[in-house]
Structure 1
């Protein structure tokens, strides 16, 4: 046998893309992995996630030797693999004919060279998924089991390689970066656009990210479409879909077997599916084998997070396959939709079933199903599916009363003011035409009332909203889902006005009624309101437990539905109040992803507002300013004027800190307009911001009067968060006037309040300016000098005053503590024991072990064993 020819293109990184962007966070993860002794850093993601580019950037950043090998199918012949490895390591290849008998000698030469690089060598293996044959893989398996010191393997491929690397998970020598890690966020999309000479507005960024789920190739095709179609967002989406479909056809679909391609096309008619549904649609007798092949080759098959419909395709692949099927067999496509609908109705998956009926254009069956299952639709909590199928229904169905009620229910969730007004007018017309069912007239009138009251909540006409609900409940006292929503709307108005007691009462009644009706999803928004009341009253542990209870049903790595946004916001707020700001930022980031996925929802500005509050707490003022400005822009676009005013109040406080006189002047004009229209019924945050502005303008007497008035509200409602803010403002006023005793008294009240109720916001926002005064106040000698009572131990104060004590880098406790049995399981996991070994060692069942491990994943906010052990060591939960 002659010497295999050397392909030099396999031995160098790819040329960098035009206008590529840096990925510093990912590069740092690779560097950190090498520093802590990882043998294998593996990038596992489908085509087009920038794996090779990231590897090339990492190679360029190294200051130590490295070698590169891009694998291909030919490397499944061991001799070809070894000769290319020799060439990559710049080792001589024998100048004679080679045969399989030479493989041991060549491999020994490679190992001997690797042993010489004790100071460090990085070996890059790109496209590792193409290496499948056991004779070739056994060499790399040996390297993974008996690696020389100093070697770091960095590999990339689609799916997990056909190598034996489980022991690396056990020994914490594996670092895995997957599609979610490589996906682009908003800032990176903007950076990528700027590198290509494009300037995107925020709406275009959201469109590109939502349509691609951060898939880099999808974003790039979107940018290409934007360069041609701007600023028409619909045209951009259509053109980008065409480009992506062509790309996937060329790079993925053409290489598939006819059986697998047919399976992909036929199952693309549903957004998520179970294996049984896939077998029905795909017409294949080997469905499970086809699914395994899709997972092995990482062909954009993902877990959906739905217990009944557990699989989904990446939207880009689903759209491409769906388009192919529609072009080739449009009638067959309609039949598949109807087949799917029938199966889904049998399985009681009503939202997805009705979506399929709409796609099948069987509108009579659709309207009949809505009539029969409208209550089930609402209980499922799949508002995204409801919005989707409503968009597919022809205009003449607008006269269908049950459908109008159903659409009104989606409005309550999405906060779409424009749709809410359209629903309101439609229902009023149907009532005038006596289209409403005569046996349920109260349902129509209650729906009108909760639509009108929701518009009042979102529009900021809070007193009017309370009045509307009171009138409706008096006229139509029947207890049902609509009356529960009315109570929730009134509670929302009361909470916005600072009336926590009344808000708590109504929200609890609403929650009880909705839970009795077995509603899912929508109750998360009620829980968020109740949790915010608990946080305002300094009951962070109760609020945290409330939100964690919502989080326990799904694994931590499952994609979330629309309503899960509320629990992420809630957990983020609880973490922020406990001064665990990094973890709070992660939760808010997850909420942002959900809000972007449901492009019809107006939840995004709320997420940005909470992110801005967090950024300001971290003293990242430019980022906070940008987030509040974007929240206000979107809130104005969606006509969410209550949020617009709330975010404006916080933005005005930031403007005071930054001496931004232009913004302060513009905000004052808005504030006086609201004061004229709503009288005293403004949000406490608006009054507080006005007081800070008056203090900034030198009107200390006005600011002091507002503080006194707000103290009355805060004291009567046990609103400890507001009390803390007021003490800090009063301390600042005392400091301005040089009143040291008054400054100390106000700060002492703030400190005692924070200690009593676990409030960690003392040194956030305006409190940073009081850093030195607070430092003196906690000094034991100073406290004795001024006859102040001693403070609790430093360990109790540290979470509240982390910035003061300089312990920001210390590990933070878990939001929910581990049980003793979970600690036992964690320790055995750290020893590398399997689930069966843990069960035998602890004398418990295998299913109980799995339950404990799932609880560990949830509490540590991870998705696999390796990440759990890393998190546990970072938190010092393991020796």
Structure 2
């Protein structure tokens, strides 16, 4: 098949699936047809209709001949992207990663902008949109075959597949090979004739076809006799093939076929009697034992049988079409139906053997380096000490946090009972509890692990295995310090980790870059909580700049979000916004639509939106952040409280703001910036309620060393009628180069108001102009809204009117529009979000709500929500008025 051969076309793409394992190329291979395969032209002609309909479904029972029919058809049409969706492809992220890779290896290159999912359990909708857009531009439709689609039971995957199929238009022909009705809106495709169906009844062999199949096996069967056989087997392809194989072994094949009674026995009895029991005892034993495996090599089969004869046996079974399929590269698998029957028979014949077989498989796979399969078989064996040790020894404990395998690993180890006791099991328990931000339970398990490891070290010395476990301990201690808000503990853990890195095999550190990235994020976060911004930036920047691809995407998102928070706290809105958006883009690039990282980036964007007076946008971001399964550390919770409280203040709800800004964080040390911003919100609430002296007292307690608090304290003194003290305080703090416009603009406005009260209009105008210059770059509106009535006359003066026009106040009216009355102060305009501007632009093009929704790939209800927000911000009630108003404001 194109893309699988070394000489065939090949496009660049990810080298590993979202779990970090190499893609199994056999999943992309069009199955080969056996020499006895019978091409049935009536089905081929029907299947040709797949080239004219977006969706084709070949639906039949196991063994109905679905896969071979489509494989034979696809082999004569290139390129075809083939994907066998077996049980190893679990979760939306894994499914789409394999489907994208199937397109690439089939010789259908995708644009680099499509990207690939990084997390097995989820995929971002924007990735699906990019894929649909890419496929919709093709000159001819792309043929995609999904074999064994009945194994895809996740409704989310079906919904995503329908989304891509719908928005690809005529750019894709999707063929589903399945045993069951897929979870797609098939009625819609049937209603408009956009679906080709081949179902079980049509797949059934006719008497003529059955006779021809027998001829392929060297058996002559007249059509009347074949008709009887078809009636008894109901035309089931596998049943007919089984009959042919068994008849070949009979001394009287014709009599055997005539006397075969399908209703006399079950398929299981037939398979056991005519396939399994005809094999030698050694072959039967091998088949029963490998039935516990999804796939197996001769070496792995030997490990289960404790013999050395698997290779010739498996080759012979495959050659004889005895339900053993060759996957290529020395790997095999059993026919799924045959495997199920063998598993059931194994439990009857050898009760209690199955766990031992899983244990042997796990041990062999661990030696071969296949961690994911090792963990699966170790868990199936119930050997949790072995399974946890495999994870820890591989230095893979960070995967419980990075999102790549976190859900799968959490589900796997959730079955681990309390009877499993070892340092590794305690480390896994500690990691699971800390990943849920349960600090007390996590520390209890972590302490048990440390005590056990200390005992092992005294007994055996410092081995590489112990070093890996102790390095995992250091990672968890750093995380615990982050959750506890304990910078000293984090520094000790980081120092211990640096010492242990020299004792761990270098190839393990290279294999798991997420461990170092996580350590630095935890350290940086603890330093950030302590207000050590420069030290925090050093650790966080190292993570933000690191490589590692998908494995470090979430730590990079986490670090960028916290770097954005530092910029925001220093008053640099644009810098903060850029880093926060980069944080979100970092995870979206790998399809992580719901990252399990910190979510600080969205909180920073919400806080920035409040300072820009984009209150609806801020609320939307906070709503998303509230649903984020984030790690609840003090930095995140303080950021959430501050952003929420500032939004409530902006909306005039001072009581709710005061309640929101005082969360019980339970941190080991007090964070100066969290304390300072809590005082800022509380003082602003008291100022709004006419209690300036209370605001002064609050801020004087925390203003030392915090320029933003000192500036707000000066504003409170001015409100209290003490302008001289206000100016003196500003002169003493003198905002340095680290303080951005969010601080310096407020300081300039306090001075301007003091000058205005003193009757110095020239100085006041100059200071307002200075504030407007600085604020315009950052679109910083809240300081002007909070300034009060005194500033409005200044905003109507020339040249200040020009500095404010378009971003803070409306621009000049369009030609012919009535001028604004001189006594009417210019309103402050709340800026439209990027998505609202998209909707407005299409509104100006006279597009309907439905057309806008289709063009933007969103729902009609989402468009209606954006329209309501646009109308409110522009103070209009109708579409035409919104467009006219937007043009007046030069928004179009």
TM-score normalised over the length of structure 1: 0.45
Query: In proportion to residue count, which structure has more helix?
Result: 1
Per the normalisation by structure 2, the TM-score is: 0.44
